[in-house]
Structure 1
């Protein structure tokens, strides 16, 4: 089976952030880079052309598909900031209710700007997501 197409690259996350055109999204990306570096203790890596990841894990599905992917991270997209907190939010509805303005995907948050959310709640969600990852995919 094919492995994950999104792989780490040698591009510096800080250099990538400086190329983000939207000034608020660029500043928010700087903030998230510092926040996630502090929370995880891991060095940030670029995954593909636009994802900044922290840590990694190896997955293997029953289908036979396997690969490596980031444990947590974010991407400053044109329409919103996407925060990847795996493996999902099924048990976090109470915490998410305190976060602020966001949209939810299967394993990610869509945030227009960090000013719309409570960063301490985001930090709690990142830590909870990492704890869940550790249970399923121990380091």
Structure 2
């Protein structure tokens, strides 16, 4: 079956970020966390120092509705440079306001808030922020009747 997932790049904070995401969303990693030092290096690649060898090569975590987020750390000695930007956001669609507010409260800890959970003209609760790891998130949920604009 074909699927769509989101891949996130970090500069040495992948393991910390995914431990945080695991705490927020629950569950377990979709496969064991793999370190860069555990995989064969390409011929002619510079030797890895201990810090780079301990960085994350790959990790995956199921979030909501079966959506997987994957993560990796860059390797500076291989010329990798991380540039955070606003070209991608993870959009989490939840079933109700309570679920949105619960996950938003935990996931946005230490975040740069763009919009707190707010009733929108299209009939959903919407929130957006950049988490403490530089990842952009959007969250939506149906409004409960009698609140906001529903």
How does the TM-score come out when normalised to structure 1? Answer: 0.32
Q: Which has the higher helix share?
A: 1
How does the TM-score come out when normalised to structure 2? Answer: 0.30
Larger Rg over CA atoms: 2
